[in-house]
Structure 1
């Protein structure tokens, strides 16, 4: 089967990998000059399977109001007349009940845990390296109330068979020795030993090279995807600024821009771009730097270790498709990394970056078929695109081939929004 994958971020490239492994003739199309140049470029560096939790959680509406008046809040909303933003927020708040949270959490953990086995197998098969570490993730708690709240997530982790351990203030230092240099700052943490870290940009580019050289995948860059032509319930071609491209099947992996491509087909994707920021900090003291990933629960900032760099990612900003770099957002994530690892790196020399995370109101990606026989979706992964990419790509390839997938796909495709 000839397949066109639209988008060359981490989700698009992993989709191409699994499709090509099954023997399909795959072409990847993207407007950028190379893979992973948008949301996948500067993400937080965490592959956090066990940390897959919905943003839409009980208590979030009340917290959102409080965060509006805090300087270093994890969520920021740009005041503007934006009906899509208002609609997204209302849909997200509708998912903040305990019942919806439990359903969405299970779906996210289901695909994330599958993705864990998939990326491990991929790394073994391809041999690619991407400054990766398999040393787990440590969620850090500054307050006892956060420890108590973590018990709810731990129940879901237990149900899904995810290894985890609640640590006290002394035990977190055994996992991350540099925390001994900031005594009294954290009351404890939740350790997920099977989570991983690495550079998503390196991962995506090296996997793309493998796909091209070993699996015969064709990559076409600098191509603007304009619209899909259809007839009789099937997609006939992709219209671009260069030419028309035709295939037997089409896969949309365009992140926050996916919804625009399928809107005229009558497919409604409730995806909103949630802006995130990151710093890439050169390491100056290995002993004062993280050894894997820590997540500061208070500020929702992740701090990950690469070989000679620290990646600091955080802030959720609702600002539509605005990609301007705001210094006040830099101030927040700079404050956190200095507070947690004050001697680890030179923040003044950091690279500052922003990107758009394609969020759904329930935080769950959209993976699977559409009302068009040969049009498929793999999008809407929010902050967990890399975490879920391999599982999503493998699941999609199996569904497209008519194979029985290794996990239950129920609740992951776009039909879950039909009644909304």
Structure 2
């Protein structure tokens, strides 16, 4: 079957990989001039399979006023005359209900576990260099009450197969000596030895090369998709500046571009772009962390990528607008130096600002649409790299008519 994948980010490329391995003739259409140049470009770098709990959780509600009103808050809301923004925020609040949030957490953990197994299989099969390490993850807490709550939540997640242990401040430093100067700030931490890290952009570029050279996948860059051609309940082609591309099936993996493309087909995807920031600095030997670290107080993540350190965080609900880029990047740098002052050369930081395509409940949209040969694999938010391989496996199974290893209804559009 001829399958056309729309988007060459990590979700689109992994989808193409699973489809090509199934024997399909696969074409990828990408509007940018290379792979993974949007949300996949310089994300946090952590493959956090055990930390995929939704942002929408009852525990966030008491913190929302401070997060939304303080200028240095990790979460920042910039109101706009945009009905989509307000619909998304209302749906987010509804998704914070306790039972729904707990069920979502379990479903995300299942998708994370599938994604980890699928990535391991890919890494074993293909020679891909992307600074991949299985280095574990340490989430550090500065507030004793927050740490106690985390330990209780850890016990709950362990029932779903999560492998974690609680550490006091001294044990955190023993595990990651780069935290020594920050020890007085710490109440404790949760260590998950199974977590991993890697460079999503390098992974995507290398996978694109594997797709072309080993699996015969055709990738057309600088080919933005403007609209669909439909007939009798099916998508028969997409329109681009280079003409129409026809296929037997289409997979929409365009991230933030998915919603406007599908709106003309009467599909309103519950997605909104959440802005995030990152720094990539040359790591200082012996001073940069070798374990992935998350500072929960600041909502910042630290991932070692070879000789570099990736620092990422912040969530802005502001649409595609970026009004305070330099100010937010400067804040990110100051907060990183607070916990890892000697981790590397901050003066040489490569900066990035990107828009994560997020759903209100944090679950991606995977599966069928009202058009029988049009499929979704989009809306992964900040977890695109973590969930990409599992999502690709699910969509390939669905297209092939196989029973996916997960409940596809949990990730369906209009769930």
Give the TM-score range, shorter chain: over 0.9
Report deviation, 1:77: 1.5
User: Which residue of the partner structure matches residue 265 of structure 2?
Assistant: 265
Query: SS in structure 2 opposite 1:14?
Result: helix
How far, CA to CA, are the matches of 1:155 and 1:105 in structure 2? 14
- Residue by residue over 1:327-379, the C-alpha shift from the partner in whole angstroms, topping out at 9 and shown as x without a partner, is 22112211222011111111121011111101101100010111111000000
Using structure 1 for the length normalisation, give the TM-score: 0.96
Query: SS in structure 2 opposite 1:238?
Result: strand
8 Å contact from structure 1 (residues 288, 344) kept in 2: yes
How far, CA to CA, are the matches of 1:166 and 1:399 in structure 2? 39
User: Which residue of the partner structure matches residue 26 of structure 2?
Assistant: 26
8 Å contact from structure 2 (residues 131, 306) kept in 1: yes
Report deviation, 1:137: 1.0
* RMSD of equivalent CA atoms: 1.3
User: Which residue of the partner structure matches residue 349 of structure 2?
Assistant: 350
User: Which residue of the partner structure matches residue 6 of structure 1?
Assistant: 6
How far, CA to CA, are the matches of 2:400 and 2:156 in structure 1? 31
How far, CA to CA, are the matches of 2:166 and 2:91 in structure 1? 32
How many residues were matched structurally? Answer: 415
User: Which residue of the partner structure matches residue 286 of structure 1?
Assistant: 285
Q: Structure 2 matches for 1:226-241, cutoff 5 A?
A: 226-241=226-241
8 Å contact from structure 1 (residues 224, 240) kept in 2: yes
8 Å contact from structure 1 (residues 325, 353) kept in 2: no
Report deviation, 1:404: 2.0
Stretch deviating more after TM superposition (398-407 or 310-319) = 398-407
Report deviation, 1:324: 5.6
User: Which residue of the partner structure matches residue 218 of structure 1?
Assistant: 218
8 Å contact from structure 2 (residues 300, 311) kept in 1: yes
- Residue by residue over 1:189-209, the C-alpha shift from the partner in whole angstroms, topping out at 9 and shown as x without a partner, is 111111111110000110111
Report deviation, 1:325: 5.9
Using structure 2 for the length normalisation, give the TM-score: 0.97
User: Which residue of the partner structure matches residue 148 of structure 1?
Assistant: 148
User: Which residue of the partner structure matches residue 48 of structure 1?
Assistant: 48
* Residue 107 of structure 2 is aligned to residue 107 of structure 1: yes
Stretch deviating more after TM superposition (59-68 or 15-24) = 59-68
User: Which residue of the partner structure matches residue 95 of structure 2?
Assistant: 95
Query: SS in structure 2 opposite 1:394?
Result: helix
8 Å contact from structure 1 (residues 133, 292) kept in 2: no
How far, CA to CA, are the matches of 2:375 and 2:123 in structure 1? 26
- Residue by residue over 1:353-411, the C-alpha shift from the partner in whole angstroms, topping out at 9 and shown as x without a partner, is 11110110110001011111100000010000000000000111011001122233231
Gap runs ≥5 in structure 1:
none
8 Å contact from structure 2 (residues 173, 183) kept in 1: no
Q: Structure 2 matches for 1:20-419, cutoff 5 A?
A: 20-283=20-283, 285-323=284-322, 326-416=325-415
Report deviation, 1:319: 1.4
How far, CA to CA, are the matches of 1:145 and 1:217 in structure 2? 52
How far, CA to CA, are the matches of 2:196 and 2:288 in structure 1? 16
- Residue by residue over 1:167-190, the C-alpha shift from the partner in whole angstroms, topping out at 9 and shown as x without a partner, is 111111232111123221111111
- Residue by residue over 1:208-231, the C-alpha shift from the partner in whole angstroms, topping out at 9 and shown as x without a partner, is 111111011100000121001111
Stretch deviating more after TM superposition (85-94 or 405-414) = 405-414
